[in-house]
């Protein structure tokens, strides 16, 4: 006999079951959609990110929660040593895409790929065009069919958009365009209010939320038809009527809210606009719009479109701004919008302006930064890209697939994060109290409990990042005591050092949850087992390698029962042989030999020093300078010469935690900013090169009194080891 309590079973009767047998929409309705997807209604207030914490810390704080499983028999006695397996079925966070209705429903081979990848990669969708006003009125059946397909595939669906006042893109019905041309304000008001009511009631709760008005700061043709010359089209922020704080805008939102309330719908309302990242002209205008609307309605969502581009200017300017920013900067930018009483969603992410990008690897890094930054922010509920395939993208530059459906580097980033790093797969044996506890990513999980004579599977929603989600599972029999659960996959595999014939690796320790304990790590080179490393050791050196050769290296974990995890992999390239001439490098300090650190002289025979660290002025160990800081400390090394012939400063270093680039203030040649703002690389727990493009960041390389200073009063706490500072 099997039974479960606390966790409701999934009802798949509506036909929206996904390939793995899990019906997300039915499940969310059963456990309460608000619990898994906070922010769909006005009950969820805005929340800012604590930027003193790392991105990884915030993800752990806000996107995971404790799950406690108790296994009992019918008579209430507990079952020790029962085998528990936990497999994630769905994220509570929304990962989505815009969808082209024609391609979705087209029975061509192109449509086949499109229909395959949408439910495979995403749990949320938005129609790119067919819910816009004119399209909805002229092609309503296509809009309905696409909506039904996505709902039946188990995806949530956002509404885009009730009102979009941009001319020339077929978003406004022809008769309303005529009314705008004639200044017929009453027709515009009547038609727009009626449309808001019609489209919201037509779809009801099949749509989770509506962007009532899209791009009110940038597209206000409808408002011009109502207000005429009161809007200054050349400088709209100066007119008698400012579009984004007008009464008509508020009226559209109060109409939407009234329709939702009068029909007793659980549907949210939101704003949506672009250029919040990089451009600072948006900030005050968008905040003014949000606060203006909040005085009349309860906004549920603040949409940040996040069409980001690689440019050459500084972030947060109005002149050629560069949106290539770190994950921590992404979260800090979002904070501007997260403190206005509504939840935040990234609604239209992509990396456009192709000529400005170095390559698709750079694009992949940008996707990772924005994805990590948004996921780490407690006020964000969704990350939606504006199309995922070049063949159906407004700039033919979608993040994941080329025109021929081959995968871009960003495809791996998306899968490795959404379905890898942030995906729960845990298991082990219940303890003497019949309980198995672990932290899981918030969302829906399948739990399988097995004894020596019984097995049962149930589904549960983990919805709370703090209070445990408690599940009791009733089975027959006794625990097996047999560990069949592999250890977790080792993480943060990095190359700590290379020579011509060796590669030194490091990784994070793995904790075995199956009960038998971790036994060893297996290291492979190009698919062949090369070493085993005992548990408790997380670093090894591979030797007898060939100079200037790239190797594929994997590390897996093995427990005492012989269960082996999947391997985490990286590549490493050995250095040139000793016969090769050295490159054009100027070593500032390698913290090795004479002069030494204690003599306050660097390798250029110039002054250097440090102070206010937890370990005083630092200490040298194994040829590296150790600086231990807790929101304090300074380091400086003098060059006292021009360095115009060198383009790059390279800091070879490692951190105790990783991510310390956000704790360090970089000060050199007139540039004073966080290290994370002047490098695209991150500090890891193994020695790696962190380069700074001196010309690109604006360092004055002609200054004959040049020095490098690093300050550590940025709120962080860690230890860094600097192995070398050089110019290339």
DSSP 344-372: EEEEEEEEE-GGG-S-HHHHHHHHHHHHH
Query: Do 241 and 214 belong to one domain?
Result: yes
Spatial separation of the C-alpha atoms in residues 483 and 698, rounded to whole Å: 57
Classify 318 as helix, strand or coil: coil
Residue 636 included in any domain: yes
DSSP 56: H
Query: Do 612 and 545 belong to one domain?
Result: no
Q: Are the C-beta atoms of residues 460 and 7 closer than 8 Å to each other?
A: yes
Residue 342 included in any domain: no
Q: What is the pLDDT of residue 724?
A: 92
pTM: 0.71
Residue 141 included in any domain: yes
Q: Examine the pLDDT at 56 and tell me if it is beyond 80.
A: yes
- The CATH number for 177's domain is 3.20.20.80
Query: Do 507 and 632 belong to one domain?
Result: no
Instruction: Establish whether the linkage from the previous residue to 161 is cis, with ω within 30° of 0.
Output: yes
- The CATH number for 556's domain is 2.60.40.10
Query: Do 599 and 651 belong to one domain?
Result: yes
Query: Do 590 and 508 belong to one domain?
Result: no
Domain boundary among 242, 270, 298: 270
Query: Do 551 and 529 belong to one domain?
Result: yes
Name the residue among 47, 45, 127 with its Cα closest to residue 299.
45
What's the chain's average pLDDT?
A: 89
Query: Do 560 and 614 belong to one domain?
Result: no
Q: What is the pLDDT of residue 303?
A: 98
Q: Within 13 Å, how many C-alpha atoms sit on residue 31's CB side? A: 27
**Cβ neighbours, 10 Å, residue 444:** 25
Query: Do 568 and 613 belong to one domain?
Result: no
Spatial separation of the C-alpha atoms in residues 212 and 160, rounded to whole Å: 8
Spatial separation of the C-alpha atoms in residues 725 and 45, rounded to whole Å: 46
pLDDT in tens, 347-398: 999 998 777 898 999 999 999 999 999 999 999 999 999 999 999 999 999 9
Average pLDDT over every residue of 167-196: 96
- The CATH number for 629's domain is 2.60.120.430
- Tell me the two tokens of residue 15: 């036909």
Residue 447 included in any domain: no
Spatial separation of the C-alpha atoms in residues 142 and 102, rounded to whole Å: 8
Tell me the pLDDT band of 38, cut-offs 50, 70 and 90: very low
Q: Which residue has the higher pLDDT, 689 or 161?
A: 161
Domain boundary among 573, 605, 620: 573
Phi, psi at 47, each rounded to 5°: -155, 135
Query: Do 610 and 703 belong to one domain?
Result: yes
Query: Do 565 and 610 belong to one domain?
Result: no
Query: Do 605 and 568 belong to one domain?
Result: no
Average pLDDT over every residue of 93-105: 97
Q: What is the pLDDT of residue 633?
A: 86
Spatial separation of the C-alpha atoms in residues 5 and 70, rounded to whole Å: 10
Residue 38 included in any domain: no
Residue 708 included in any domain: yes
Query: Do 646 and 712 belong to one domain?
Result: yes
Domain boundary among 573, 596, 621: 573
- At 288, which helix (H) or strand (E)? helix 281-294
Number of structural domains (the chain) is 3
Q: At what angle do helices 327-338 and 55-63 cross, to 10 degrees?
A: 50
Residue 202 included in any domain: yes
Residue 629 included in any domain: yes
For residue 529, give its domain range: 494-573
């Amino acid at each position: 006999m099997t039974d479960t309590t606390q966790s409701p079973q999934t009802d798949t009767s509506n036909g929206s079951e996904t390939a793995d047998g899990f019906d997300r929409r039915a499940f969310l309705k059963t456990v309460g959609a608000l619990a898994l997807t906070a922010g769909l209604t006005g009950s969820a207030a805005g929340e800012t990110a604590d930027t003193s914490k790392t991105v990884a810390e915030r993800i752990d704080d806000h996107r995971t929660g404790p799950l406690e499983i108790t296994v009992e028999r019918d008579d209430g006695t507990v079952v020790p040593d029962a085998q528990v397996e936990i497999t994630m079925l769905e994220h509570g966070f929304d990962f989505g895409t815009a969808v082209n209705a024609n391609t979705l429903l087209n029975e061509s081979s192109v449509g086949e790929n499109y229909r395959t990848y949408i439910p495979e990669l995403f749990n949320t969708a938005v129609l790119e065009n067919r819910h816009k006003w004119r399209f909805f009125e002229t092609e309503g059946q296509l809009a309905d069919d696409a909506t039904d397909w996505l709902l039946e595939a188990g995806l949530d669906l956002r509404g885009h958009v009730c009102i979009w006042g941009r001319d020339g893109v077929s978003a406004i019905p022809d008769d309303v365009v005529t009314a705008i041309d004639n200044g017929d304000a009453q027709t515009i008001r009547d038609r727009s209010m009626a449309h808001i009511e019609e489209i919201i009631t037509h779809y009801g709760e099949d749509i989770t939320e509506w962007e009532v008005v899209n791009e009110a700061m940038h597209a206000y043709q409808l408002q011009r038809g109502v207000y005429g010359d009161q809007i200054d089209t050349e400088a709209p922020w100066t007119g008698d009527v400012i579009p984004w704080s007008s009464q008509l805008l508020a009226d559209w939102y109060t109409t939407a809210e009234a329709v939702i309330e009068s029909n007793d719908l659980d549907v949210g309302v939101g704003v949506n606009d672009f250029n919040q990242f990089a451009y600072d002209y948006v900030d005050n205008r968008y905040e003014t719009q949000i606060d203006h609307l909040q005085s009349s309605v309860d906004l549920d969502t603040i949409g940040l479109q996040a069409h980001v581009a690689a440019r050459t200017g500084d972030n947060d300017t109005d002149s050629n701004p560069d949106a290539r920013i770190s994950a921590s900067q992404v979260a800090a930018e979002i904070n501007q919008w997260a403190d206005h009483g509504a939840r935040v969603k990234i609604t239209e992410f992509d990396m456009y302006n192709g000529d400005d990008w170095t390559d698709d690897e750079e694009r992949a890094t940008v996707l990772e930064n924005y994805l990590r930054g948004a996921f780490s922010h407690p006020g964000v509920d969704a990350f939606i890209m504006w199309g995922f395939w070049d063949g159906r993208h407004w700039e033919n530059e979608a993040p994941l697939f080329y025109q021929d459906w081959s995968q871009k580097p960003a495809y791996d980033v998306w899968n490795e994060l959404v379905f890898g790093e942030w995906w729960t797969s845990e298991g082990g044996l219940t303890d003497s109290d019949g309980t198995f506890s672990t932290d899981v990513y918030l969302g829906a999980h399948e739990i399988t409990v097995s004894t020596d004579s019984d097995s049962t599977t149930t589904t549960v929603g983990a919805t709370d990042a703090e209070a445990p989600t408690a599940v009791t599972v009733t089975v027959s029999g006794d625990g097996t005591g047999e560990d069949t659960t592999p250890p977790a996959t080792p993480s943060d595999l990095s190359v700590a050092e290379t020579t011509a014939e060796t590669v030194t690796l490091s990784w994070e320790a793995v904790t075995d949850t199956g009960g038998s304990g971790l036994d060893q790590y297996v290291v492979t080179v190009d698919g062949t087992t090369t070493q085993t490393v005992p548990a408790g050791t997380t670093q090894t050196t591979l030797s007898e390698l060939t100079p200037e050769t790239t190797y594929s290296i994997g590390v897996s974990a093995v427990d005492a029962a012989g269960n082996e995890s999947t391997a985490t992999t990286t590549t490493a390239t050995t250095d040139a042989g000793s016969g090769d001439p050295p490159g054009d490098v100027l070593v500032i300090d390698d913290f090795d030999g004479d002069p030494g650190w204690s003599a306050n002289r660097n390798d250029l025979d110039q002054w250097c020093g440090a102070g206010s660290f937890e370990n005083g002025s630092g200490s040298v160990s194994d040829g590296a300078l150790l600086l231990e800081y807790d929101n304090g400390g300074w380091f400086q090394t003098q060059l006292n010469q021009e360095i115009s012939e060198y383009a790059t400063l390279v800091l070879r270093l490692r951190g105790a935690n990783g991510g310390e680039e956000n704790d360090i203030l970089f000060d050199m040649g007139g540039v004073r900013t966080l290290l994370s703002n002047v490098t695209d690389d991150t500090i890891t727990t193994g020695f790696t090169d962190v380069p700074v493009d001196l010309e690109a960041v604006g360092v004055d390389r002609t200054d004959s009194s040049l020095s490098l200073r690093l300050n550590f009063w940025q709120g962080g706490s860690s230890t860094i080891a600097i192995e070398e500072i050089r110019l290339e």
